[in-house]
Amino acid sequence: MTRPSSPQVAGLPVQQEAAARLIVVDDEKDFALGLARLIRGRYPAMEVATAHSGKEALEILSCRGAQLVITDLRMPEMNGMQLIGEALKRVPDLSIVVLSAYGTIETAVEALHAGAYDFLTKPIEPDQLYRVVDKGLERCRLLEENSRLRQILASQVDGRRDLVGEGPAMQQLRRTIATIAQSDYNVLIRGESGTGKEVVAGLIHRSGARAAKPFISVDCPSIPENLLESELFGYVKGAFTGADRDHRGLFAAAQGGTLQLDEIGDINPVIQTKLLRCLQNGEVRPVGANQSFLVDVRIVASTNQDLEARIRDKTFREDLYYRLNVLSLTLPPLRERQEDIPLLALHFLKRTCRESGLEEKEMTPEVLRWLAARPWPGNVRELENFVRRLTVFCPGSLIDLDLARALLDGGQGSGPIALTSRELPAEAPSTSYKVAKEQVVDSFTRRYIDELLTVTRGNVSEAARVSGLSRVALQKILGRLGGTAASYR
């Protein structure tokens, strides 16, 4: 029988199954051996062990380890529920599938609530067994990748705004930044909005000889045109109404260091001319002054516009373009480095928790895979903002796929799951932010699940289809809420 290919996960490298180990636990020896033979036939590279009691399974787990455990629920001495608790103490990321001849929703919810990943009911159909094992293997790969990403993140980021990513595009970008940082020429950074141009400008400064001197960044479009000249070059007292004292300007403030001119393509032709004169002569003349003074400033300009097109339509000076574009680099959009999305998401999660004073939170592997598969037209900035919303609205310590989908639909104002003003308290809050948030999310979840199961008459499969959730995810929510689908039939 041909071995099934490993499913690819967008943004996450797939680990080979050769090292996977599985333990089948059942006090009926013939049944356990038969199940093991089925699994070995389908996955010949997998190591499959059998145990006939919970105690024996724990001994195998302690000595040899495992990624998956398939266990019966009803066994003497130590039942399946007890085994789940003890096994997860030893291996927290273990994927556990429970077997039961008593396949009620209540039993499944209880097992999932105890920490099981999935469940099977006896008698077992081979195709159903293989699907569950495939899902377990995929979960193992995702959990291992999650752990690896956290290790990379810990070694790669020191709390500053740094480049995060290890894909080919980011490795090449780091090499380019290191090369540019060793020179002192002006730099033009190009890239779509939200790709991290300001972060790259800061890295160029910190990695070069001017690192000990000031780094100043100015968002040119955010300053009114009639004020941009005085902000850049300064002014003297009496230069215009309201100029009651001398103002140094950003060029003077960045003396010896680096001045980033963000969105340089948006400045008007008058400022372009004065900026060109400054770059040509290395001199700045404040507004209203009779004399210029020398400045030693490296310019790092950035833009998301097509400057060549603006040169052709006479809205950007060609000579200024060549003054700025001595060295250049282009930042890749997020859609061209999807492999970095999980690492970025974990980085933003950690930073948001720290900035907001929240307890540390985690994302499930399913959330990371879901994030990596999305297009993110707003690039890194859009991803960062979404992770911030996830972090703030997560009522516990684990961000799951249910919340991610709910917030995405809520943010778009459409879909069956939406966070609206109806969930918000009408009166001034009388409790802490954390408690109020948990109440809002809990109220929303309870109402949605109640309406969903009422419409589907307690049919979990139909409810999962309508909501876009998996059966397991829906059952986990039911377990968390303490309800069952049977009461809606």
Q: What pLDDT was estimated at residue 154?
A: 56
Q: Are residues 145 and 265 in the same domain?
A: no
So what's the pLDDT on residue 435? 62
For the segment 219-266, what is each residue's pLDDT rounded down to a tens digit?
998 888 888 988 999 888 887 877 788 888 899 999 999 999 999 999
89-117 pLDDT per residue, tens: 888 888 899 887 765 667 767 777 888 88
The answer to whether the pTM exceeds 0.85 is: no
In this predicted structure, what is the pLDDT of residue 159?
Answer: 40
Last residue of a domain, one of 304, 334, 364: 334
Q: Which of 286, 306, 334 is the last residue of a domain?
A: 334
Report pLDDT for 109: 74
pLDDT of residue 294: 92
What pLDDT score does 356 carry?
83
Quote the percentage of the chain above a pLDDT of 70.
80
Q: Is residue 47 located within the same domain as residue 190?
A: no
Clarify whether residues 136 and 62 are in a common domain.
yes
Lowest mean pLDDT among 82-91, 240-249, 374-383: 240-249
Q: How many residues does the chain have?
A: 489
Q: Are residues 250 and 326 in the same domain?
A: yes
- The verdict on residue 162 lying in a domain is no
Mean pLDDT computed over 357-361: 86
Q: Is the pLDDT of residue 415 over 60?
A: no
Contacts for 438 with CB less than 8 Å, ≥ 6 apart: 395, 396
> How would residue 480 be classed by pLDDT, with cut points 50, 70 and 90?
confident
Percent of the chain, pLDDT > 90?
37
- Under 8 Å between Cβ of 463 and 454: no
Give every CB contact of residue 448 below 8 A, 6+ residues apart in sequence.
416, 417
Tens of pLDDT along 297-326?
999 999 999 999 999 999 999 999 999 999
Do 111 and 75 fall into the same domain?
A: yes
Q: Which domain holds residue 273?
A: 168-334
Structural domains in the chain (count): 3
319 and 422 in one domain? no
Q: Could you give the CA distance from residue 272 to residue 196 in angstroms, rounded to a whole number?
A: 24
Whether residue 326 sits in one domain with residue 426: no
Specify the pLDDT at position 15. Answer: 37
In a domain, residue 423? The reply is: yes
The pLDDT assigned to 103 comes to 57
98 occurs within a structural domain? yes
Final residue belonging to a domain, choices 155, 185, 212: 155
Give the separation between CA 106 and CA 478, rounded to whole angstroms. 10
Buried/exposed code over 330-343 (b: 16+ C-beta within 10 A; e: otherwise) = ebbbbeebbbbbbb
Q: Give the pLDDT confidence of 30-47 residue by residue, as tens digits.
A: 999 999 999 999 988 889
pLDDT band of 402, cuts 50, 70, 90: confident
CA–CA distance, 489 with 469 (Å, rounded to integer): 20
Give the lowest-confidence range in 216-225, 267-276, 338-347, 403-412. Answer: 403-412
Mean pLDDT of 260-284: 92
> Same domain for 361 and 476?
yes
Q: Coil, strand, or helix at residue 429?
A: coil
Q: Spell out the alpha helix ranges (H) of 65-191.
A: 80-90, 105-114, 126-156, 168-181
151-157 CB contacts, 8 Å cutoff, 24+ apart: 152/343, 153/343, 153/346, 153/347, 153/350, 156/343, 157/347
Residues 417-469 have pLDDT tens digits of 334 433 444 444 555 555 666 666 777 777 777 777 776 767 777 677 667 67
The residue with greater pLDDT, 105 or 145, is: 145
Average pLDDT over all residues of the chain = 81
pLDDT value at residue 210: 94
Same domain, 186 and 326: yes
Q: Is residue 313 part of a domain?
A: yes
| The predicted structure's pLDDT at residue 226 | 80
pLDDT of 312 reads 94
User: Is 343 inside any structural domain?
Assistant: yes
Residue with more model confidence, 64 or 104: 64
CATH of the domain at 414: 1.10.8.60
How far apart CA 244 and CA 247 sit, in angstroms, is 9
pLDDT band at 24 (very low <50, low <70, confident <90, very high): very high
**Count of other CB atoms within 10 angstroms of residue 354:** 11
Q: What is the mean pLDDT of residues 60-85?
A: 88
Is residue 10 included in any domain, yes or no? no
pLDDT band at 10 (very low <50, low <70, confident <90, very high): very low
Query: Is residue 186 very low, low, confident or very high in pLDDT (cuts 50, 70, 90)?
Result: very high
Predicted local distance difference test score (pLDDT) of residue 432: 58
The pLDDT value given to residue 438: 65
Whether 108 contacts 117, CB under 8 Å? no
